[in-house]
Each structure stands twice: as structure tokens, then as C-alpha cells.
Amino acid sequence: MREAMLYKKLPNSRVQCNICQWRCTIGQNKFGVCRMYQNREGVLYNLNYAQASSVAADPIEKKPLFHFFPGTLAFSLGGWGCNFHCQDCQNWEISCPESGEPWRGSREVQPQEAVELVKRYQCQGIAWTYNEPGTWFEYTLDSAKLAKENDLYTVYVTNGYLTPEALDAIGPYLDAWRVDIKGFSDSLYRNLAKVTRWRGILEVAKRAKTKWNMHVEVVTNIIPTMNDDDQQLEGIANWIRDELGELTPWHVTRFYPHHHMRHLPPTPITTLEHAYDIGQKAGLKFIYAGNVPGHKSENTICYSCGKLVVQRFGYQANAVGLEGSKCKFCGAELNFRASEAERRSS
Ligand code: SF4
């Protein structure tokens, strides 16, 4: 347990948490929406510091991040809880724990040990993933600082709901922002995630790129009848093009029935391909259909010369045509990160 880093003390021993955009006002002994921050005697504590629910050496492609150190392993850590309560959550056992201390019995991984495990498992960096990293923000910040001291890359796999001030606290130590944009309407975010003010996600994603020069990739899990209409898909694609740039990868992934959405069918492949076409029409250069191993869009093809640059099958990647961030055949900029130098120069 650690005292929270970003909160304000209020009258009558209440506090306001400023880690994510809920900005929960929390009374004595109460919890925030994520249930991982608690007000004890007017002091806000994070309850699950270093308490990992899941630990694995994953291919970076599994996050998915396709233009970031392709073919490497990311030491992946998940905590507990979430500030969203998505109907289609694939990891609901860890993101929706019962109240109390569900992390008892989970593995304690202090930041120093995380860095040691990265090296032992021959990973090149750390990804906070599986649940929302903001629910153990202080832990990810301490670990990210240590990771950068050890020349490791750092990745947030996030719903994007951090506040700008939380982003600014971790920005100097974070290399990649793999963010969900779940849809492009108030009703979608309300019905899917019980979130009413979602547009701050867009602002923070743009800030991650422009202020902190993070590598940004966007995922939209396409759910039949929820976010598969042209209006929302065009909204996302156009926003990515205008605010993050046409070279930003957009992953349109296949939904499989989960959690409270078992009544819906898996996303038809034709729907993913339609989303792909919408992305192309908007001018995006890199659109990938996800959760469909072997799909032709898994590879990276240079938009300029048409040559194969990264060959993929599932989580395997083979960079055959990359020179730094560029196409080795024609020199076109492809927005890849594979070294610290690219972070500094892009
Ligand atoms: S991190 Fe948790 S407690 Fe803090 S504002 Fe977000 S949901 Fe509320």
C-alpha cells in the first residue's frame, strides 16, 4: 500500500483523486470507482502497489503494438481493478475483483525485481497491460523510472482515461501509448463502459504523442451492433488521421463473446474488412485486422513502393524491409520505433 501521488484533500476528511478522469471524490473509508484507491483518515492510498495478478513474457505484437520494437518480448504485468466496467471485458476476473483485498495470494513484484525479471526472461522492456495501468499508477511510475535507467522500453496498454497531469508525471519515462478508442459516440461509451465523458481520452492520446513524443497505436475492438456502424468507424479513422497522423497504426480487432456480451456473435470477417476499407479511405496507411491469425492485413506493406516490410503470422514478426523507422527499399517513413535514437529524432 502506498499513499497516492495525485490527490487533493477536501473538507471533512474527503479527498479527490486526480489519477484518472473520473476524479473521484471519496469519503472516509470509501473507495474510488476503480476500488484500488481508498480514503483512510483523509489520506488517499493505492491498495495494490506491486501486487501483480498476471506476469508473462509476451511478444510485443500481442499488445498489439506492430510498429514498436517488432519481434521483441515485453515483460508484461497486470494488476487489479479497472476504472471502466466494460460489458465485453476479456479480463474481468482481474479487472472486476470483489471488494476487500482480492490481490491476497497474487505475486508481489517490486520495481527492482521487475527489471531483473525483464533481463532474466530476455525481454527488451516492460508493458503494464491486462488491466488498466492507472489503477496502480504509483507502481508503474516507479517501475518506469527504473526501467529507463536500465535502457528498457516502457509501454502502457490503456483505456486512455488518465488525467493530463498523470500523463505528464509518467510521460518522461513512457515510450508507447497503446490506447483503445472503443467507439465514437456518447452512447457507445455509456452503454459499453458506463463512461459519460469520453472525449478526454482523445485529448490525452494526442498529448502523449505531441507533448511526450510517445509512440501511439490505436485499437478498436469491433462489436456487432455496438460500434460497427460507418459513422463511428469513420469518426475514429478521421480523428486518427487529423490528430495523430496518417502513419498511426489502427488495429480493428475481432470481438469474441465475453463477460456480459455472450449473446452477441463474433465479429464477421467482412465487418473487419469493411472497417479496413474505411480506414484506407480516410487516408490511414497502416490498418491491421486483429484476432484473425493469417489475415492478409497482418503484414506491414510499404505504402510507397508496395514491398513487404514486416511479415507476421499471429504474434510472430519478421522485419524484412526495415531500416530504422523507414522502408529499406524506397526510404519512405513508416513510423517504426526500434531504438532510443528513433524516439529522440522523431
Ligand atoms: S484512479 Fe480510481 S479512484 Fe482515482 S479517479 Fe480513477 S477511478 Fe477514481
198-202 long-range contacts, CB within 8 A, separation 24+:
200/21, 200/161, 200/163, 201/21, 201/159, 201/160, 201/161, 202/239, 202/243
Closest residue CA from atom 2 of ligand 1 = 34
**Average model confidence (pLDDT) for the chain?**
93
Length of the chain: 346
For the stretch 2-26, pLDDT in tens is 999 999 999 999 999 999 999 999 9
For residue 266, report the distance from its CA to the centre of ligand 1, in Å. Answer: 32
Instruction: For cell 490503456, name the residue.
Output: 158
How remote is the CA of residue 67 from the centroid of ligand 1, in Å? 31
Atom of ligand 1 nearest to the CA of 161: 6
Q: Is the peptide bond before 64 cis (omega within 30 degrees of 0)?
A: yes
Residue 188 has pLDDT above 70, yes or no: yes
Which pLDDT does position 170 carry in this prediction?
A: 98
In this predicted model, which residue has the larger pLDDT, 110 or 293?
110
CA of 20 to the centre of ligand 1 (A): 5
Indicate whether 324 pLDDT > 60.
yes
What is the structure's pLDDT at 91?
A: 74
Q: What whole-number distance in Å separates Cα of residue 232 and Cα of residue 211?
A: 27
Report pLDDT for 78. Answer: 95
Look up residue 37 and give its three cell numbers.
484507491
Instruction: Using the predicted structure, report yes or no on whether residue 328 has a pLDDT greater than 80.
Output: yes
Long-range contacts of 325-330 (CB under 8 A, 24+ apart): 327/302, 329/302, 329/305, 330/302, 330/304, 330/305
State the CB neighbour count (10 A cutoff) for residue 121: 13
Count other C-beta atoms under 10 Å from residue 100's C-beta: 9
Which residues, judged by CB distance below 6 Å to any ligand atom, belong to the binding site of ligand 1?
17, 19-20, 22-24, 32-34, 37, 83, 134
pTM here is: 0.95
- Distance between CA atoms of residues 171 and 105, nearest Å: 32
* Cβ-contact 162, 21 below 8 angstroms: yes
Say if residues 44 and 38 touch (Cβ distance below 8 Å): yes
| Vertex 263: Cα angle to 259 and 269 (nearest 5) | 95
Parts of the chain belonging to CATH 3.20.20.70: 51-298
Asked if pLDDT for residue 345 goes beyond 70, the answer is no
CA distance 135 to 27: 18
User: Which pLDDT score, from 0 to 100, does residue 314 have?
Assistant: 86
Residue 93's φ and ψ, nearest 5 degrees, are -65, -35
Residue with cell 496502480: 136
Nearest to 131 by CA among 157, 112, 105: 157
pLDDT tops 60 at residue 129: yes
Angle at 145 between CA 39 and CA 151, to 5 degrees: 155
> How far is residue 158 from each of residues 66, 176, 196, 286, 317, measured CA to CA in Å?
16, 10, 18, 20, 23
Look at phi and psi of residue 105 and say left if phi exceeds 0, alpha if psi is from -120 to 50, else beta: left
> Percentage of residues in the chain with pLDDT exceeding 70?
95
What pLDDT band is residue 77 in, cutting at 50, 70 and 90? very high
Mean pLDDT of the 41-48 span: 96
Mutate to test the pocket of ligand 1, among 22, 38, 170 (most ligand atoms within 8 A of CB): 22
Q: What is the pLDDT of residue 38?
A: 96
Choose among 126, 333, 341, 140: nearest CA to 247: 333
Question: Ligand 1: distance of its center to the CA of 81 in Å?
Answer: 10
> Span 91-95, mean pLDDT?
72
- Distance separating alpha carbons of residues 299 and 247, to the nearest angstrom: 15
pLDDT at 302: 98
Q: Which atom of ligand 1 has the smallest separation from the CA of 135?
A: 1
- The rounded distance, in Å, linking the Cα atoms of 101 and 36 is 9
Give the side-chain half-sphere CA count within 13 A for 170: 32
CA 285/CA 121 separation, integer angstroms: 34
- Is 51-298 a domain of CATH 2.60.40.420? no
Residue range 191-207: average pLDDT?
Answer: 95
The torsion angles phi and psi of 105, rounded to 5 degrees, stand at 90, -10
Average pLDDT of the segment spanning 55-75: 96
CA 282–ligand 1 middle distance (angstroms): 35
Q: CA 194: distance to chain centroid?
A: 19
Ligand 1 atom 3: the closest Cα is on which residue? 32
In the structure, what pLDDT confidence band is assigned to residue 346 with cuts at 50, 70 and 90? low
pLDDT of 86 reads: 80
Judged against a pLDDT cut of 80, whether residue 336 lies above it is answered with yes
Share above pLDDT 90 across residues of the chain, in percent, rounded to a whole number: 83
